[in-house]
C-alpha cells in the first residue's frame, strides 16, 4: 500500500487494522516491521496520501476499493486441522465490509486464499438486504520479504483475476489503472478468478519444491562426495531449469511456503486427487527431513552428545534482511538442540525479540546475544542458520581463539569461506558437500 501511495499521488490510501498497537507503530518513527527501504517510503507519503487508522468502519464506508490482507493461517482445530486455511478472519472482514458499506465497492483478495474463496466472499457480501453491489477481484501478492520494495516497484508480473462479466471486467480495469501508474502493461496478467487464486498457491508450491529438490540432492551429495553448489550451478545453467532458488540450506521457512503447500494438499484431498496431494506433501516432508538432518549432522560430528555443550546459533530469521521468524527453520532446529541438552547462544541482527517469543516455554539454557563474536565466546560449535551478510565479515581467527577445541562450524547455508575456516583450525560442516575436518 505504501508503494501504491508513492506511485499514485492521485489516490488516497488508508491502511486499517484492529490492532491499535500496530497502527500506532505505523504512525510512529519505529515501524512494526523491518523491510529495507520501507521506512523512507512510508515517511514520504504518510500524512499526504497514506494514512494508518483504526477507524475501520468509517474507512470501509469511504473507500471505493478495499484490499483484504488479513491473515489466513493454517487451521489448528477441527476439520482440516494442520492443513486447511483458517478462514475466520476473512469471513469476519467480509461481514464488517457488508455492514459498513453504503456505496458500491470493489473488494480485492490480497490474502492468500484457497481456490474459489471469492465465491464465499461474494455470498457473504451480498447476503441480507443490503442493496450495495460488490465486485470481488483476486490480486495475489508475490513479493518476498527482504526484497519487498524492489519486488513491488519492479514486479515480474501483476496478476488480476476477475469474473468474466461486464461488471467484473470494469472492476478489473479500475484496479489495472492503479498498477499502470508504474508497471508496464505487458506485465499485467488478467485471468479468471479461480486461476488467479490457484496461481498464488502454485507459485509458492513450485518455489518451495525447488528448495526441497535441491535439499534432497544435498543429502545425496554428502554421502557421495559430490558438491551441491557445483551441482546447482551445473543444472541451473540449463535455461529450462534456471539458476534461482537452487541454494541448499537448513530447510525453507517463512509465513507462506508450508502453509500454502498444505493448503494445496488439502484442496487436492478435498477433490479426491490423492496422488496429487501426496506429491506436494512430499515437498513439506523433505523440508522437515532437512531440518532434522541438520541437527543430526551436528550431533554426529560432535561425538554423538551435545549435553552441556555450548552452541552459538548465527541467525534466527527465516532469511536475511528481515526480522521475521515465522516458520523459521531455526525454531525447529533450536528446540531439537535443546532436547539434546545443548546450551544455546542465539544471535541475529533483527530477529532476537521474535526468537525470544518463539522459544518461550522451550526447556533448556538459551541466551540471546546481539554480538555474534560474544555469542561464540567459549562455544564448542557455531551453527549458521541464516545467511546474514555480516557473518561473512567477522574475524574468524579471533572467534576461533575464544572457542573450546575442537571447534566446529556448521554452515547451514554454505555462506562462509570453508577453506579459510579449515585453515584457521575449524572443523567445517557445510550443506551438501564433504566436511573439512582435522579430526
Task: Point out which residues bind ligand UDX (CB under 6 A).
Answer: 141-145, 204, 207, 211, 245-247, 249, 252-254, 256-257, 318-319
DSSP 201-217: HHHHHHHHHHHHHHHHH
Q: What share of the chain is helix, strand, coil (3-state, %, to 5)?
A: 45, 15, 40
CB of 93 to ligand UDX, least distance (A): 20
Given the complex with ligand UDX, which of 254 and 372 has the nearer CB atom? 254
Is-cis flag, bond preceding 107, omega within 30?
no
Given the complex with ligand UDX, which of 206 and 303 has the nearer CB atom? 206
Cβ distance 104 to 86 under 8 Å? no
CB of 204 to ligand UDX, least distance (A): 5
> What is the crossing angle of helices 257-270 and 193-224, to 10°?
120
Q: Phi first, then psi: what are they for 367, rounded to 5°?
A: -120, 150
> What is the crossing angle of helices 193-224 and 117-125, to 10°?
140
Cβ distance 380 to 311 under 8 Å? yes
Given the complex with ligand UDX, which of 158 and 207 has the nearer CB atom? 207
CB of 207 to ligand UDX, least distance (A): 5
Catalytic residue, chosen from 8, 256, 268, 334, is 256
CB of 54 to ligand UDX, least distance (A): 26
Q: Which residue is nearest to ligand UDX (CB)?
A: 254
Residues sharing a CB contact under 8 Å with residue 256, sequence separation 6 or more, in sequence order:
112, 204
- Closest listed residue to residue 402, CA positions, set 378, 436, 384: 378
CB of 387 to ligand UDX, least distance (A): 8
Hunting for cell 501478492 — which residue is that? 141
Given the complex with ligand UDX, which of 89 and 142 has the nearer CB atom? 142
CB of 228 to ligand UDX, least distance (A): 11
Helix (H) or strand (E) holding 282, with range, is helix 274-301
Given the complex with ligand UDX, which of 221 and 379 has the nearer CB atom? 221
Per-residue DSSP letter, 153: H
Given the complex with ligand UDX, which of 25 and 144 has the nearer CB atom? 144
Distance between CA atoms of 53 and 1, rounded to whole angstroms? 13
Residues sharing a CB contact under 8 Å with residue 24, sequence separation 6 or more, in sequence order:
none
Query: Is 221 tagged catalytic?
Result: no
DSSP SS3 for 22: helix
| Catalytic residue ranges | 256
Amino acid at each position: 500500500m505504501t508503494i501504491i501511495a508513492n506511485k499514485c499521488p492521485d489516490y488516497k490510501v488508508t491502511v486499517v487494522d484492529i490492532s491499535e498497537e500496530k497502527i500506532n507503530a505505523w504512525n510512529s518513527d519505529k515501524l512494526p516491521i523491518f523491510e529495507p527501504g520501507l521506512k523512507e517510503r512510508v515517511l514520504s507519503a504518510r500524512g499526504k496520501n497514506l494514512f494508518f487508522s483504526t477507524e475501520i468502519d468509517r474507512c470501509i464506508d469511504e473507500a471505493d476499493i478495499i484490499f483484504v490482507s488479513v491473515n489466513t493461517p493454517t487451521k489448528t482445530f477441527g476439520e482440516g486441522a494442520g492443513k486447511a486455511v483458517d478462514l475466520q478472519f476473512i469471513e469476519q472482514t467480509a461481514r464488517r465490509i457488508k455492514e459498513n458499506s453504503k456505496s458500491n465497492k470493489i473488494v480485492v483478495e490480497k490474502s492468500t486464499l484457497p481456490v474459489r474463496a471469492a465465491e464465499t466472499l461474494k455470498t457473504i457480501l451480498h447476503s441480507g438486504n443490503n442493496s450495495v453491489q460488490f465486485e470481488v477481484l483476486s490480486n495475489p501478492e508475490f513479493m518476498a520479504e527482504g526484497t519487498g520494495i524492489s519486488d513491488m516497484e519492479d514486479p515480474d508480473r501483476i496478476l488480476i483475476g476477475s469474473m468474466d462479466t461486464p461488471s467484473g471486467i470494469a472492476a478489473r480495469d479500475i484496479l489495472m489503472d492503479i498498477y499502470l501508474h508504474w508497471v508496464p502493461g505487458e506485465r499485467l496478467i488478467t485471468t479468471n478468478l479461480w486461476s488467479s487464486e490457484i496461481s498464488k498457491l502454485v507459485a509458492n508450491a513450485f518455489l518451495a519444491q525447488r528448495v526441497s529438490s535441491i535439499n534432497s540432492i544435498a543429502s545425496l551429495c554428502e554421502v557421495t562426495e559430490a558438491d551441491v553448489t557445483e551441482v546447482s550451478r551445473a543444472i541451473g545453467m540449463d535455461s529450462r531449469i534456471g539458476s534461482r532458488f537452487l541454494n541448499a540450506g537448513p530447510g525453507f521457512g517463512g509465513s507462506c511456503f508450508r502453509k500454502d503447500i498444505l493448503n494445496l494438499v488439502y484442496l487436492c484431498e478435498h477433490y479426491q486427487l490423492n496422488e496429487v496431494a501426496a506429491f506436494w506433501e512430499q515437498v513439506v516432508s523433505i523440508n522437515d527431513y532437512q531440518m532434522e538432518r541438520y541437527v543430526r549432522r551436528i550431533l554426529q560430528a560432535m561425538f554423538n552428545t551435545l549435553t552441556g555443550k555450548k552452541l552459538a546459533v548465527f541467525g534466527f530469521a527465516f532469511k536475511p534482511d528481515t526480522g521475521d521468524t515465522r516458520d523459521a527453520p531455526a525454531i525447529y532446529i533450536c528446540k531439537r538442540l535443546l532436547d539434546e541438552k545443548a546450551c544455546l547462544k542465539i544471535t541475529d541482527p533483527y530477529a532476537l525479540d521474535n526468537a525470544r517469543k518463539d522459544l518461550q516455554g522451550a526447556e533448556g539454557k538459551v541466551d540471546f546475544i546481539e554480538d555474534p563474536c560474544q555469542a561464540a565466546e567459549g562455544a564448542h560449535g557455531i551453527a549458521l542458520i541464516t545467511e546474514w551478510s555480516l557473518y561473512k565479515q567477522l574475524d574468524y581467527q579471533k572467534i576461533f581463539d575464544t572457542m573450546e577445541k575442537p571447534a566446529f562450524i556448521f554452515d547451514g547455508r554454505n555462506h562462509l569461506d570453508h577453506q579459510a575456516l579449515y585453515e584457521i583450525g575449524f572443523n567445517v560442516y557445510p550443506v551438501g558437500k564433504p566436511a573439512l575436518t582435522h579430526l
